[in-house]
Amino acid sequence: MPEIDVGTPVSQLVDWLTTHLGPFFDAISVVMLALLDGVLYLLTAPHALLMTVIFAALPLLARRWGLALFALVAFLFVQAMGLWVETMETLAVVLVASIIAVLIGVPIGIWAARSRGVSNVVRPLLDFMQTLPVFVYLIPAVFFFGIGVVPGVMATVVFAIPPAVRLTELGIRSVDEEVVEAAHAFGAKPGQILREAQLPLALPSIMAGVNQTIMLALSMVVIAGLVGAAGLGVVVVRGISTLDVGAGFEGGLAVVLIAIYLDRLTGAFAESGGSLRGLMRRRPALLPEATASTPSAIAGPTS
């Protein structure tokens, strides 16, 4: 049976892109570094204790007192281990990569929910992206952007997009058809239906997609450290390369604490999004009152 050479065409494609689109990739690197530097400055410019208080206060917006206490203890513990700067570098990478992945994934999910053809094309592509080994994402990223934090972020973005697309599509398709038909009956345009009915009702599912996107981005931290991405990944990789079990354990423990905090925080906001869904479900109950107050508009003029 003849062998099929797949690697050579892929290598030639990567070489062609690197040669002809070099300035484009350089521009992406500049923008990405600017974003990372800006987010990192916001996280590290205030005193560490002040940022700890802010992190502990965020769960209070969703009335999660236990999570607020956990955040306070966790970030104080990170400071005690001397890993505050590395933790903020990791958090900056995760935030930037997650935001970009959500900004790309949610619109694609909306498009797939509104078009069966797009969904049929996107679904196998997402299956391929989720089953591809994570190390494979780093290979073209290093070729296009070199060694450093940028290829780590770009590989993380690609790796973290699928749950944002899938759960956005699932949330919009799960909206009750009666709500959409009622909106059509009252003359709402497709954009209004999406903005005022489908998205609010799908918000819990979309927030679950955001949660999974953040978790996947965080899972790439150590792997991105292999190509020079700053943060806790470098601490873990350094501990592995020098057989320093203590340093590697401290870096891994800090990653775990951030993962628990971000998971619980996004989960809390996803649950609080259910109140919007309840409000939208109660809104149709107001329609009979409005129509009853103006019977002539429905039944016509009375004699």
CATH number at residue 143: 1.10.3720.10
Number of domains composing the chain: 1
Query: Whole-model pTM?
Result: 0.80
Q: Does any domain span residue 66?
A: yes
Q: What is the mean pLDDT of residues 201-210?
A: 86
CA distances to 123, 190, 242 from 199, rounded to whole Å, are: 21, 12, 50
Q: Give the pLDDT band (50/70/90) at residue 1.
A: low
Q: How many CB atoms lie within 10 A of CB 187?
A: 7
Q: Does any domain span residue 1?
A: no
Q: Does any domain span residue 254?
A: yes
Q: Does any domain span residue 5?
A: no
**Helix and strand numbers, DSSP H then E, in the chain:** 17, 0
Q: What is the mean pLDDT of residues 180-191?
A: 76
Ramachandran bin of 187, using left for φ above 0, alpha for ψ from -120 to 50, beta for the remaining angles? left
Q: What is the pLDDT of residue 38?
A: 92
Q: Does any domain span residue 290?
A: no
Sequence-distant (≥ 6) Cβ neighbours of residue 213 within 8 angstroms: 98, 101, 102, 105, 160, 161, 163, 164
More confident residue, 91 or 237: 91
More confident residue, 33 or 237: 33
**What tens digit of pLDDT does each residue of 100-149 get?**
999 999 999 999 888 888 889 988 888 888 788 777 777 778 777 777 78
Nearest to 172 by CA among 277, 97, 267: 277
Q: Does any domain span residue 56?
A: yes
Q: Give the pLDDT band (50/70/90) at residue 294.
A: very low
Q: How many CB atoms lie within 10 A of CB 260?
A: 14
Mean pLDDT of the chain: 80
Q: What is the pLDDT of residue 285?
A: 39
**What tens digit of pLDDT does each residue of 253-289 get?**
998 999 899 988 888 877 765 444 444 444 443 344 3
Q: Does any domain span residue 225?
A: yes
**245: domain range?**
23-281
Most confident of 76-85, 132-141, 221-230: 76-85
Q: What is the mean pLDDT of residues 29-55?
A: 91
What percent of the chain is predicted at pLDDT more than 90? 20
Q: Does any domain span residue 12?
A: no
Distance from C-alpha of 295 to C-alpha of 100, rounded to nearest angstrom: 50
